[in-house]
Chain A
Amino acid sequence: MSFEIDYSTYTLSELQEAYSTIDKNAYPDRANEIMSRIQALLSDESNLETNKETRISDSNIASRDKVKFNGNGTEYFAIWIVNILLTILTLGIYSAWATVRTNRYFFSNTEIGSHRLNYLAKPIQILKGRIIAVLLLATYLVMASFYPVGGFVVLLIIFACMPYIVCFSMRFKMRMMSYRNIRFGFKMRFGRAFVVFVLFPILGIISLYLAFPWVMKKIDEFLYENMTYGDRTFIPKLSTGEYYAATLLSGLIGFISIVFSGIVFGIVAYAVNSIGIENSEVLGGVFAIVGMAFYLLGLLVASSFYTAYIRNHVYNNTRVEGVAVFESEVLTFPLAKLVLTNYFLLFLSLGLAYPWVMVRKAHFFANATTIVVLNDINNVIGANNADANATADEVVGAFDIDLSIG
């Protein structure tokens, strides 16, 4: 059995992976080709490294600014509430227009080096995708309710289609965004997507989740290295160790908070019992709630730690070829505080504070991000692609498969 493999689409790390696993006696030609490609890429890399160094040291920098988010909660509230009303009154049709307005509001209010991002999707693209997604979701729910086995089969099919769903939805997301009249893009590599989104997760489960941080890294790497800006590519240099560090440390924080709240709860319960205070049941209940609150706070800090750690790592180690370097300094406690206060805002306002919550979040992440734009951006040329379709994007949304690339 023999088939052609196009190694030209492989990245350096994938080539190295391929070289270490290939049977060099059976396929000497392929092994040679891989090796020469590795060497070519390595020399490119070192050139780029020096280029990048000289560029930045030459102060060949167009701008070095914090990302600025110009939206405000009150303005967005008006847009949001009108969007919802019109969506219900039009039996959902307007939701496509609403989505475009919402996305445009957040994209075009994001300012990088005194220029804004632009959002290019047309409502009809969104509407088509949305109708298909609703039909798919309804089919799945009907199957699952009337034929549980059939519902399971539908889920399996969706899982098998994950590579396509991920690639198409990423391409749509990226293609609908432009900066300085140049579109972003996403290289669709279904084969690699199958490996990353289907095989690796299965491997992760077989390894009793021990390999999961590595799987997460592979997923992020796939998402970022296939992003493009005009004719330039994104280059992430992610480290598996950092993913393990993030996982272990956030796990440790979670564990400590569980133990701590358990101890507090135990001591108090014992004290209440032995003193024999009246209404000890009520008091016990109060302390159970306090213990629970400690526990939830611990989990919040743990998840904020993970989010901040990984985001910082990914941003600080990703650049756009000759165009931009990212810096991210999200801190754990401010992030936890943001999430907690947002939660309270939503709760106390019965959801009406949602627009302010979203704007606060956008401000927070913009404020923690610095983008160095290099002068070479003036030489970027737009790449021409066929129009992306919103279907896969919508399928992802409706089935709630969240790909965090925040």
Chain B
Amino acid sequence: MDENLIIVKGDYFQHGSAACINAKLKFYASGLIFVELDNNTSFSINKDEISITNRLGSLPRELTLPNNDLIVIESDSLVDSWLSDGKRDISFFERSPKAVIASIMLVPLAFYFVFAIAIPAMAIAFAPAVPEWVVKQTTQQSMSILERTSLEPSKIDENLQNELKTEWQSLLYEMKLDHQDFTILFRDSDTFGANAFALPDGTIVFTDDLLKLVNYDKDILTAIFVHEVGHVEQHHSIRLIAQSIATSVAISYFFGDISGIFEVFIGTASTITSNQYTQEAEWEADNFALEKLQQTGRNPLDFAAGMQKFSELAPEMSDELQILLSSHPLTEDRIQNALDFSESNLDDLTLYIQNK
């Protein structure tokens, strides 16, 4: 009697037939399989000639013969080691507690790396490489949609508009930027409220409400203008588009076959991620503005003063949730950042605003 002989029971199906025949299989150490069927037929076959499904959990193993007949046998450690010749496959990791614990720790790290480091780095490299004509096209399309849906001609005194434009054009010259072609627009808008925004080709729009909010203070408006210039100069729009495309593709790739309630989490995670990206861009533009204001002999406190006006307009709750759910950093933090930059405190700011 051969000690290495393994005997198992299995279900045998002939190719193209659903009829199940009971089978008895004998595995020999030499790699030979002897199959005895209930209908009194028997044959032998070598392990090399059959295809065997990988080990997975405790699933039965499926042995497909060259003629597409199928034998299904229960998985057990003896059978499995005979079938695999003792070689390790991926299921080795799946049943190793060490590998599983390592995975639990590495997966969040890996996701953090992909979404917080790899994708932003890729987007920063990609943004300046987008051809000028694509940027122009994109801007024109967005601008024409905005003009049609939410922007009206400005009701601000034309002289003031022209004064600001002239001053800002010479400031742009002073700042010595890569990008020179800026278009400054004033528009009335109910949708945007008090706001200023920059489009990727260098179009910068100020709303009438913003001018009213800061009492037509030119210094503050200039500070906000330089902030918007920062967005253009650092290709933020294109970078954010690239980041959001890459994030969507990555998320649908990694979690594509997940549906139902899990999508709620993915949606939330995706919103939070994209908020982190936009907050990052705001900080960069803020710091750009502060530096340029100082370089050109202006007062960085003007930026803090502008932010102060915003915070009076819409007081916000400063909690963790707010930080996650908002596309902009907390105004309070932005004021503090500007104060730190100019080595001042809130009292200095209050005094500065009063003396205006």
- Interface presence of B14 (CB below 8 A): yes
Output the nearest chain A residue to B60 by Cβ-Cβ distance: A116
Given A81-B100, A145-B241, A378 contacting B107 (CB threshold 8 A): no
- Interface presence of B297 (CB below 8 A): no
Contact A181 B57 (CB under 8 A): no
- Cβ contact of A78, chosen from B95, B111, B261, cutoff 8 A: B95
Contact A82 B94 (CB under 8 A): yes
Contact A75 B58 (CB under 8 A): yes
Within 8 A of B (CB), among A165-207: 179-182
Cα A347 to Cα B70 in complex, Å, equals 43
Given A92-B254, A146-B138, A354-B262, A79 contacting B94 (CB threshold 8 A): yes
Within 8 A of A (CB), among B79-135: 90, 93-95, 99-100, 103-104, 106-107, 110-111, 114, 134
Given A137-B248, A181-B14, A230-B18, A88 contacting B256 (CB threshold 8 A): no
Contact B57 A342 (CB under 8 A): no
Most chain-B CB neighbours within 10 Å: which of A81, A95, A381, A382? A81
Cα A351 to Cα B252 in complex, Å, equals 16
A193: min CB distance to chain B, Å: 22
Output the nearest chain A residue to B95 by Cβ-Cβ distance: A78
B69: A residues at CB distance < 8 A: 181
- Interface presence of A326 (CB below 8 A): no
- Interface presence of B208 (CB below 8 A): no
B39: min CB distance to chain A, Å: 13
A102: min CB distance to chain B, Å: 7
Given A142-B245, A146-B137, A147-B141, A79 contacting B56 (CB threshold 8 A): yes
Contact flags (1/0) for B49-73 with A, using CB distance below 8 Å?
0000110111110100000011010
B56: A residues at CB distance < 8 A: 79, 101, 104-105, 108
Stretch at the interface among A20-28, A29-37, A154-162, A394-402: A394-402
Contact A378 B18 (CB under 8 A): yes
**Chain A: how many interface residues by the 8 Å CB criterion?**
64
Cα A81 to Cα B111 in complex, Å, equals 13
- Interface presence of B5 (CB below 8 A): no
- Interface presence of B296 (CB below 8 A): no
- Interface presence of A11 (CB below 8 A): no
Output the nearest chain A residue to B113 by Cβ-Cβ distance: A88
- Cβ contact of A146, chosen from B107, B134, B249, B256, cutoff 8 A: B134
Contact flags (1/0) for A345-379 with B, using CB distance below 8 Å?
01100011010000000000000000000000111
Contact B60 A377 (CB under 8 A): no
Contact A145 B60 (CB under 8 A): no
Output the nearest chain A residue to B247 by Cβ-Cβ distance: A141
- Interface presence of A115 (CB below 8 A): yes
Most chain-A CB neighbours within 10 Å: which of B15, B70, B93, B107? B107
**Chain B: how many interface residues by the 8 Å CB criterion?**
54
A97: B residues at CB distance < 8 A: 90
- Interface presence of B13 (CB below 8 A): yes
Cα A56 to Cα B59 in complex, Å, equals 32
A151: min CB distance to chain B, Å: 11
Output the nearest chain B residue to A76 by Cβ-Cβ distance: B57
- Interface presence of A148 (CB below 8 A): yes
Output the nearest chain A residue to B253 by Cβ-Cβ distance: A92
B259: A residues at CB distance < 8 A: 400, 402
- Cβ contact of A181, chosen from B15, B241, B249, cutoff 8 A: B15
A79: B residues at CB distance < 8 A: 56-57, 94
Contact A145 B244 (CB under 8 A): yes
Contact A382 B17 (CB under 8 A): yes
B314: A residues at CB distance < 8 A: none
Contact A339 B261 (CB under 8 A): yes
- Interface presence of B315 (CB below 8 A): no
- Interface presence of A99 (CB below 8 A): yes
B62: A residues at CB distance < 8 A: 118
- Cβ contact of A182, chosen from B11, B16, B99, B258, cutoff 8 A: B16
A352: B residues at CB distance < 8 A: 104
A347: B residues at CB distance < 8 A: 265
Contact B137 A147 (CB under 8 A): yes
Within 8 A of A (CB), among B243-302: 244-245, 248-249, 252-254, 256-259, 261-262, 265
A7: min CB distance to chain B, Å: 30
Cα A212 to Cα B59 in complex, Å, equals 42
Most chain-A CB neighbours within 10 Å: which of B58, B59, B93, B134? B59
Contact B245 A145 (CB under 8 A): yes
Cα A99 to Cα B16 in complex, Å, equals 27
- Interface presence of A89 (CB below 8 A): yes
Output the nearest chain A residue to B110 by Cβ-Cβ distance: A88
Within 8 A of B (CB), among A84-108: 84-89, 92, 95, 97, 99, 101-102, 104-105, 108
Within 8 A of B (CB), among A137-153: 137-138, 141-142, 145-149
Contact A346 B265 (CB under 8 A): yes
A-B contact pairs, 11 of them (CB 8 A): A84-B107, A88-B114, A89-B110, A108-B59, A115-B20, A115-B72, A142-B245, A148-B145, A354-B262, A380-B17, A398-B253
Going nearest first, the 9 A-B pairs with the smallest beta carbon separation are A181-B13, A382-B16, A378-B19, A88-B110, A180-B18, A181-B70, A81-B103, A85-B103, A380-B18
Interface residues of B (CB under 8 A from A): 11, 13-20, 53-54, 56-60, 62, 69-70, 72, 90, 93-95, 99-100, 103-104, 106-107, 110-111, 114, 134, 137-138, 141-142, 145, 241, 244-245, 248-249, 252-254, 256-259, 261-262, 265
What would 8 more interface pairs be, CB under 8 Å, given A70-B58, A137-B248? A79-B94, A81-B104, A92-B254, A101-B54, A141-B244, A181-B13, A182-B17, A339-B261
